[in-house]
Structure 1
Amino acid sequence: MFYNHTLYLLNVNPGELDDYGIYHEGQEQVLKSFPCDIQPYSSELLYREYGYQEQVTKRVFCDLDSDIKNGKIVRDGSGQKYMIKKIIPWDDYMDVMLDDE
């Protein structure tokens, strides 16, 4: 497949309260990057093509990877974050459905 983008799989540590009751946001850590093809997509298309009812805005084609899981957060090169909503595995690649975070 033709992969012209890179996504970064993030590990987001939860925020916490310090001893004074002040909330500090969690740290983001890039677990890995992976090449992919990103295309605009919609919930309506997802329902028509696969029968799933999820809110999605992007469709990603990438190689099979066991680290890519539903609920994980990814970031593109511009810094936009997305949540992985649905994964549809095929023989040698997978469709990953994303929604804006």
Structure 2
Amino acid sequence: MADIKYYDVILKPVITEKSMNQMAEKKYTFLVHPQATKSQVKEAVEKMFEGTKVASVNTMNCEGKNKRRGMVYGKTAKTKKAIVKLTEDSKDIEIFAGL
């Protein structure tokens, strides 16, 4: 198990139409460190965003896509996404406020 600090767990938010619609249900989507666990994601969200309380975390490993440039084949990097659901009484996450 890698020793990952809470500030290294969340890499960036995922901004898609589906993730923006889920914000009404207090679900937020992030790209996370590939070796991060659900408990580490929960700890990172609660520490990085004041007033938030996490109800549940769902994670998914996404395989890299096959790419081709001329005759050379390759793959993009693997990623890991986490969908974080907040409790009803917790505050919203401010980075999504202007979107």
TM-score tier (shorter)? 0.3 to 0.5
Q: What is the TM-score with the length of structure 1 in the denominator?
A: 0.41
1 or 2, which has the higher helix percentage? 2
Higher RCO, 1 or 2 (CA under 8 Å, sep at least 6)?
Answer: 2
TM-score using structure 2 length:
0.42
